[in-house]
Structure 1
Amino acid sequence: MMTDTPVEDQAEHPGEPIAVHAAGTIPWRRDADRLEVLLIHRPRYDDWSWPKGKLDPGETLPECALREAREEIGVDARLGLPLPTTHYRVSAGLKAVSYWAQQLNGSARARPDGVEVDQTHWCSPEEAALLLSNQVDAEPLEALVEAHRNGTLATRPLILLRHAKAKPRSSWTKAEGDRTLAASGVRQAQAVGRLLTVWKPLRVATSPWRRCIDTVLPYVRASPDKVKIRLVEDLTEHRAARRPRKAAAAVVRLFDKGKPALICTHRPVLPTLLDEFRTFLDPGLASKLPTSDPYLAPGELIVFHVPVEDPARVVALEQMKPYDD
């Protein structure tokens, strides 16, 4: 949880190392056609803010953001668009807080935990901007409002994942499709599973080779939702090399299904899939895609954010690694 009071804005300290990493969300909903956001009141500081807190050991920033929302207001909705990171000075030094939009539907009830948070308040963005105690917290709010104005705030995630670290190819004597994860890859797959709970994909398209299946199974088994797995032979190294258009078609199917989804494959297949994703990107986003081998490290993923109202378009992307022990 947050334990420091902001002192001054980071703009006066360019290039200063970050001493404290934190993450949070801006919960939002639509009341008819009106946008509302959720502020929290923290009795310790008597301030109005967003759900947020410091990174725990062994945690990524998206996991931290989701955990803080769950702990402080009792919601577990998937994260949406990444929002601007705020910077300000605290007693320990420069603090950076990464934010994500978090849509709450009608069944999601935000309840203060009674310790860190004693009140919640749904309000218009205009009212929120006036109530926020730390004005730097208005920066991610402004981006959220702009996305709502553009019709790109409500999104679903499409995730491209490279399987976790496998046993060395040079020492494997059995069929290539049976090559298993290394011991570190097994741990990495567990970390991937925890990271994927941030976006909660409901469909998984994966190469049927064992190292891919073993990478996604921890998430599928732990998910409280019914996750549909589809084994796609065209995503294997051998098939994709012979018929790359068939592999690329797996990406198109993700867009067509209209559901939060994940595709898991191998390093040699990544450039084919990235080229297909590139055709859906808004201008300016293509430069953010990896362009050289190995494209993604084992267990690394890219989240493509697709507007619900414009399902053949990517308006934001983020590249993430699970925590690596």
Structure 2
Amino acid sequence: MRSTEHLEDVADPGGTGVSVYAAGALCWRVKKKKLELLLIHRQRYDDWSWPKGKLDNGETLAECAVREVYEEVGLPITLGIPLPSIRYVVKPGLKEVHYWAAPVDDMPPIPDGKEVDATIWCSPTKARGLLSNPSDVEPLDALLAAHEAGTLATWPLLVVRHAKAKPRAAWTRAEGERPLAATGRRQALYLQRLLMSWHPERIVTSGWMRCIATISPYAQATKAKVKVVPSLTEADHKRNPAKAAAVIERLLAKSSATAVCTHRPVLPTVLATLATHMDPALAGVLPVLDPHLAPGEVLVAHVSIDNPGRIVAIEQHKPYED
């Protein structure tokens, strides 16, 4: 499981000793039934590595990984399964790099000419021999293990808890009309950027105002299809939790990148349903304590393409905080 925070590029809010955060991706494709990986050569360092770079101020790790791959080699990517992060010492201190697998089509990479002067698609064995930083082998090993296990090719099901709403005590009208607070509106804009890393094509949401307002910025920016499902509201879930569970079951059967936006009281049912589609060890790292997800937080479940309905990896992404 990968848990990511809202981090500045030189901040160390967790007291981990890390002074520089970066992110990147291991771009992969299967050509003539053989796995190939994309390496870049940086003339400044005369090294071979994975596309990666430091976080911009206020950027999430997922956004950084997508942006860096596009800036360095011109490839638009959607993030796949999370891979192990690595740490090594640089001049400012300890650097931590977070990686994801990223499937790409046959579009040729185009070096930016500034930092990257060459790219190469190569076999895992050749990549292992070319990599200049020994620690870069760690995410490679994880990617190879997933490929051999048939769990590398996935699609994402994202579970979003609606952003921070106005307090219940301060709202006297219908509960379904309770709007987002000012912080919640900022969280919704933050989610618009974050969700771009997985490009959900469909959004399934509670029809209550705070859920609609949470997903609206992303839906408007991408023209994603939005479906309002009453069984994902607090009231309908309280009357019949099985209907909310059935919504998740149907989505897992569709194999289409989707985001689900719902409420804290509905999350135990959603998470319990997801748990039945993964190995016990993976289910053991699902959030089990109330409130399960913070307002505006996202859980990404990576569902196997080769083994439909089977969740092979999960990760959580913390919400924007003022």
Measured at CA, do residues 219 and 16 of structure 1 come closer, stay the same or move farther in structure 2, by a change above 3 Å?
closer
8 Å contact kept, 1:59–1:323: no
Q: Secondary structure at the match of 1:79?
A: coil
CA distance in 2, matches of 1:161, 1:292: 16
**1:129 offset after TM fit, Å?**
0.5
CA distance in 1, matches of 2:224, 2:188: 17
CA distance in 2, matches of 1:169, 1:323: 21
**1:283 offset after TM fit, Å?**
3.0
Q: 1:253 aligns with which of 250, 257, 271?
A: 250
Structural mapping, 1:153-168, within 5 Å: 153-168=152-167
Instruction: Give a deviation string over 1:120-166, Cα, whole Å, max 9, x none.
Output: 10000100100111111111011111111111111100111100001
**1:310 offset after TM fit, Å?**
0.8
Instruction: Give a deviation string over 1:222-250, Cα, whole Å, max 9, x none.
Output: 12xx5211100000000000100001111
Q: Secondary structure at the match of 2:116?
A: coil
Q: 1:311 aligns with which of 301, 308, 311?
A: 308
**Residue 233 (structure 1) aligned with residue 266 (structure 2):** no
Q: Secondary structure at the match of 1:89?
A: strand
Partner of 1:96: 96
CA distance in 2, matches of 1:16, 1:210: 39
Structural mapping, 1:41-80, within 5 Å: 41-80=41-80
TM-score by length of 2: 0.93
Structure 1 runs not aligned, ≥5 long? 4-14
Structural mapping, 1:129-144, within 5 Å: 129-144=128-143
Q: Secondary structure at the match of 2:253?
A: helix
Q: 1:296 aligns with which of 283, 293, 296?
A: 293
**Counterpart AA for 1:220:** A
**Residue 30 (structure 1) aligned with residue 30 (structure 2):** yes
8 Å contact kept, 1:191–1:324: no
**Counterpart AA for 1:267:** R
Query: Deviation above 4 Å: which 4+ runs of structure 1?
Result: none
8 Å contact kept, 1:58–1:323: no
CA distance in 1, matches of 2:320, 2:90: 26
CA distance in 1, matches of 2:319, 2:79: 16
The RMSD of aligned alpha carbons is 1.4
8 Å contact kept, 1:38–1:50: yes
Q: Secondary structure at the match of 1:75?
A: coil
CA distance in 2, matches of 1:229, 1:288: 29
**Counterpart AA for 2:120:** H
**Residue 169 (structure 1) aligned with residue 173 (structure 2):** no
Identity, % of aligned positions: 56
CA distance in 2, matches of 1:208, 1:323: 23
Q: Secondary structure at the match of 1:310?
A: coil
Partner of 1:217: 216
Partner of 1:201: 200
